Amino acid sequence: MKTLVGLGIGPGDPELITLKAINQMKSCDCVFVPKNKNDSLARTIASPYLEGKRVVELSFPMGEDNQERYVQAAQVIDSELDDDQTGTFLTLGDPMLYSTFVYLMREVQKLKISVSIIPGITSYHAAAAVLKEPLTIRNESVYVVDGSVDENILSRVDTVCVLKPTKKMEEILTQLEKFRFQYMYIKRCSQAGEMILTHREEILQEKDYLSLIIAKRT
d(CA 65, CA 95): 19
Report how many helices (DSSP H) and strands (DSSP E) the chain contains, helices first.
Answer: 8, 10
Burial zone of 161 (CB within 10 Å; 0-12 exposed, 13-18 middle, 19+ buried): buried
**Which one-letter DSSP state was computed for residue 160?**
E
Rounded CA gap, 32 and 54, in Å? 9
* Span 205-215, pLDDT tens digits: 999 989 999 99
Longest Cα–Cα distance in the chain: 56
**Using CA atoms, how far apart are residues 164 and 146, in angstroms rounded to an integer?**
6
Task: Decide if pLDDT at 66 tops 90.
Answer: no
The overall average pLDDT reported for the chain is 95
Q: Let me know: does 147 contact 163? Beta carbons within 8 Å.
A: yes
When pLDDT is cut at 50, 70 and 90, the band that residue 63 belongs to is low
Residue 27 pLDDT greater than 90, yes or no: yes
pLDDT value at 142 more than 80: yes
Q: What is the pLDDT of residue 64?
A: 67
pTM above 0.85, yes or no: yes
Average pLDDT estimate for 31-57: 93
Whether residue 65 has pLDDT greater than 80 = no
Residue 45 is predicted with a pLDDT of 96
Strand (E) positions, the chain? 3-8, 30-35, 55-59, 86-91, 114-118, 142-146, 159-163, 181-187, 195-197, 211-217
Long-range Cβ contacts of 193-199 (<8 Å, 24+ apart): 194/130, 196/130, 196/131
Interval 11-19 mean pLDDT? 97
Distances (CA, A) of 38 to 34, 86, 100, 158: 11, 26, 17, 40
pLDDT at residue 90, rounded to an integer: 98
Give CA angle at 149 (144, 151), nearest 5°.
115
Per-residue model confidence (pLDDT) at position 44: 95
Whether the pLDDT of residue 175 is over 80: the answer is yes
Distances (CA, A) of 3 to 9, 88, 105, 195: 19, 8, 11, 38
Q: 103 pLDDT exceeds 90?
A: yes
Q: Is 70 exposed, middle or buried (0-12, 13-18, 19+ CB in 10 A)?
A: buried
β-sheet bridge partners, residue 86: 3
Report the percent of the chain where pLDDT is more than 70. Answer: 99
pLDDT higher than 70, residue 67: yes
Query: Looking at the predicted structure, is the pLDDT value of residue 146 above 70?
Result: yes
